[in-house]
Amino acid sequence: MNKELEHSFVTNLEQNQNIVHKVCRIYTNDADSHKDLFQEITIQLWKAYPKFRGDAKFSTWMYRVSLNTAITLYRKSKRSIKTSDFDSMDFKIKAEEYDDEVEQQLKLMYAAVKQLNDIEKALVFLYLEDKSYREIAETMGISEVNARVKMNRVKTKLKKILNP
């Protein structure tokens, strides 16, 4: 039974690992921390897995556990986030697909997102993942109205970071 559970969990996670990697990208700044956070999320997912009923989609359930680990359970290393760190990060912007101006703008956008606080990052992440406000509200434990209000504030904050 345990082996079966292990197998179904690892298979599920292997197929859906992108979600966890993306959370790690938003919340960490280097490959080591990325690995650390991925490891912790995996453990938390595995610990919660026996209670996963399958009434929700595995991926939906993963969003919640991954974000909770990143903003609540994970003890971040002391490294502070500097804008200059961004260059060493592995967001690959494909030069052939964008003109210079757009490419530059994207780079600045990613750097701006990195400057947001943990909660704001979670909202942006869910927004980028195309989640509805209802889902965002449920994941964070706030009302839908508040999720909208907060999202608008985050957008304003991002604009301010980009155009000081």
Partner 1 sequence: MDELELLKKDWKKQEEGLPKLSYDEIYRMILKKSSSIVKWIFVISILEFILWASIDVIARLSGKYQEAETLGMENFFMISTIISYGVLVYFIVRFYLNYRKIKVTDSAKVLMQNILNTRKTVKYYVWINLTVIGLLIISTTLYMLFFSNELADSLDGKEVPVGLIIVAAIVMAIIFVGFLALIYRLIYGILTRRLKQNYKELQKLEV
How wide is the angle at C-alpha 149 spanned by C-alphas 60 and 63, nearest 5°?
15
The single residue listed with the structure tokens 């986030």 is 81
Under the rule (CB under 8 A), what is the footprint of partner 1? 6, 9-11, 13-14, 17-18, 21-22, 25, 34, 38-40, 42-44, 46-48, 51-52, 61, 64-65, 67-69, 71-76, 90-94, 97, 102, 105-106, 109-110, 113, 117-120, 122, 124, 127-130, 138-143, 146, 149-150, 155, 158-159, 162
Q: What is the helix, strand, coil percentage profile of the chain, to 5?
A: 75, 0, 25
Q: Match 């706030």 to its residue by tokens.
A: 142
The residue ranges of DSSP E strands in 22-95, in sequence order, are none
* Closer of 29 and 139 to partner 1 (Cβ): 139
Shortest distance, position 62 Cβ to partner 1, whole Å: 10
Q: Which two tokens stand for residue 80?
A: 């502070």
Q: What span, in angstroms and rounded, lies between the C-alpha atoms of 82 and 55? A: 41
DSSP 80: P
Phi and psi for 75 in degrees, rounded to 5? Answer: -95, 105
